[in-house]
A and B are shown apart, each in its own frame.
Chain A
Amino acid sequence: MDKQHPYAGLPGRSFWRTAVADRNFLEITELWDPKFNIDKGHKIATFGSCFAQHIGRALRANGFTWLDTEPCPEGVPEAVAREYNYGIYTCRTGNIYTTSLLQQWVDWATERQTPPDEYWTSGGRFFDPFRPTIEPQGFGSIEELLASRRQTIHSLKLAIESANVMVFTLGLTEGWINSQHGYEYPICPGTTVGEFDASQHAFRNLQFQQVLSHLKTAIDAMRSLNPKLRLLLTVSPVPLTATRSGHHVLVATMESKSILRAVAGQLAANRGFVDYFPSYEIINSAPFRGAFFEANQRSVSQAGVGHVMRTFFEGLTAKFAARPSDSPLASTGAGAELEGASTDDPVCEEQLLSAFSPR
């Protein structure tokens, strides 16, 4: 009798016992089979939810060409540059948590939409509702705020036009919109600056089709500017700080992340120029036992970030490096701490919501 069937001859990575159960979790390998190469000559843009900051930093530290289309002037101390959100993402969009927010930024960059004139004030300073913490003390005038926003939109357009690869980290499905005009805020008005107005501000929790549709529209718009642009999607493993959905925050987190993961998977499956990198699985899957989280079970530890990025670079090396010297990790040496797995906390407005939790 023929013993051949579709599972016979599959590699070890296809079976739970050989790929996972028989291994120490740090030895679980081959998690990513990259669709396309990303080498040190490729220009890489990074945007998205807080976790994307780690990716940009690690790429830079390991000699990759990380695009910075809104660079900080020289002479600014690193801590100050960071406080002003330079070098966090490819340009100063701040965190882009949802796919609808990504579409909004891309619509502005591609001039499909005009950004609203809305601004917030506090203590005589002016704040951008779409990047409320981009300047630590806000702007000196409305004109300055709008000029800065125009700069970022222009820099985003430059990033889209010039990048070979954009890494986008999907973070949330929950968001806040202006109910009259439909545009989206990155964080609920009134939680950092601005004032919450129930007649103007509405909660929205995107469902699968909406998340997918916004992301597809954003990608199509970006590819209209740069037809060769490739995308690497990741899902942030960082749980929600707070939910307005009415569900328990853990349940809301799982629902959100599951939707985002499914959208990323669907797009990667259907489009040759879109790939998915499993940072979410590396941090969150059961075999890793939550070991990569800090004590709050939310923040990803330095070791976790390092492990994610090591998997990233090893995935590229395994598939594309012809010689060991081509490996992105060649310069770090075996056992070396992964450069770029910094202890710096990511810049994350959403985290500010924790201030509103009951004591």
Chain B
Amino acid sequence: MRIALLGNSHAAALKLAWPAVASSLAGPRVTFFASRGTKLDSLAIADGALASKVDSISKDIAFTSGGLDRIVLADFDVFVLYGLGLRGTLDRPDGVFYSESLLTQACVGQSKSVGLNLLTKIRSVSSAPVFVGHEPLPSAVTVESPAPERYLDDIRRANRVVFEPLDATLLPQPVATLSGSRCTRTEYSIGSRRLDVGDEISNELHGVHDRKHMNAEFGRLWLLSLMNALKERTPPPV
């Protein structure tokens, strides 16, 4: 199974973890196409491929993929969009009641992102399965009780309202990494590194105050969760 994983700085955690995950699996091959921030928004469909007219972005893509400066959609069986401004939970205060109708509207508003733009572009030419991973929830300052129902509700709502209509699936962050419904457990943000695009800050550790980026162990758990989702989607051999 050929998987194209498109992401921004958050994809670093997955890329660092992939060799170890791959060694324990037979079959899936992941090709990473990543660039920091919102740069992948410049990718556009041309001749059945996603490509950027910006040299530096093409260079990032080539570096992270091992030489491919464009993403030929027909070359892949599955697409994964990771990070890219996608958010996992609606930012709202605890304990305040909102109607389902309003939350649905909020969900639509909050989904506007580079990730959703890329999904729409992919869907304009490909019907291959697409899995989506939101940017990790920020790491917790204090550990909240492990009751992520609200988070999981938000994921279900986002799937129902935004992703299922585009025949895509938003995957929740692995439950083991969650601290309550709004945060990631602190241990997963320790030792996170910058996305390697071959420049001088590549692979640097993020600052100690960075709560948004996660480490390779987080990436490993997320990829295992992706592999499980792929397994569930693939019908067993007859």
Contact = CB atoms under 8 A, between A and B. Distances in A.
Contact of A84 (B87, B96, B97, B105): B105
A148 B99 CA distance: 7
Interface in A99-154: 135-137, 139-140, 144, 147-148, 150-151
A140 B97 contact: no
A73 B98 contact: yes
Interface string A69-85: 01111111100100010
A76 B109 contact: yes
A74 B91 contact: yes
Given A73-B92, A75-B109, A135 B103 contact: no
Nearest to B110: A75
Nearest to A83: B105
Nearest to A71: B93
B92 to A, nearest CB: 4
A73 B97 contact: no
Contact of B105 (A76, A140, A151, A155): A76
A150 B100 CA distance: 16
Interface residues of A, number: 21
A74 B96 contact: no
Nearest to B112: A75
A154 to B, nearest CB: 9
Contact of B92 (A74, A77, A137, A139): A74
A151 B98 CA distance: 9
A73 B90 contact: yes
B91 A84 contact: no
A76 B92 CA distance: 11
Contact of B103 (A71, A73, A150): A73
Interface in B82-121: 87, 90-93, 96-103, 105-107, 109-110
A212 B88 CA distance: 51
A75 B90 contact: yes
A140 B101 contact: yes
Contact of A74 (B97, B99, B105, B110): B110
A137 B105 CA distance: 12
B106 A151 contact: no
B109 A148 contact: no
Interface in A49-99: 70-77, 80, 84
Contact of B99 (A77, A139, A150, A155): A139
A148 B98 CA distance: 7
Of listed A73, A74, A84, A155, residue having the most chain B CB within 10 A? A73
A80 B105 CA distance: 7
Interface in A30-58: none
B100 A144 contact: yes
A14 to B, nearest CB: 50
A349 B237 CA distance: 62
B21 to A, nearest CB: 32
Nearest to A146: B97
Contacts of A80: 102, 105-106, 109
B84 to A, nearest CB: 16
Contacts of B98: 73, 148
A147 B96 CA distance: 10
A150 B87 contact: no
A150 B41 CA distance: 43
A254 to B, nearest CB: 40
A150 B96 CA distance: 10
B103 to A, nearest CB: 7
A80 B112 CA distance: 15
B96 A70 contact: yes
A135 B87 contact: no
A13 to B, nearest CB: 46
Given A72-B102, A73-B92, 11 more contacts: A71-B93, A73-B98, A75-B87, A75-B90, A75-B106, A75-B110, A135-B102, A139-B101, A140-B100, A148-B97, A151-B97
9 contacts: A72-B106, A74-B90, A74-B110, A75-B90, A77-B105, A135-B99, A136-B101, A140-B99, A144-B100
Going nearest first, the 4 A-B pairs with the smallest beta carbon separation are A75-B110, A73-B92, A74-B91, A151-B97
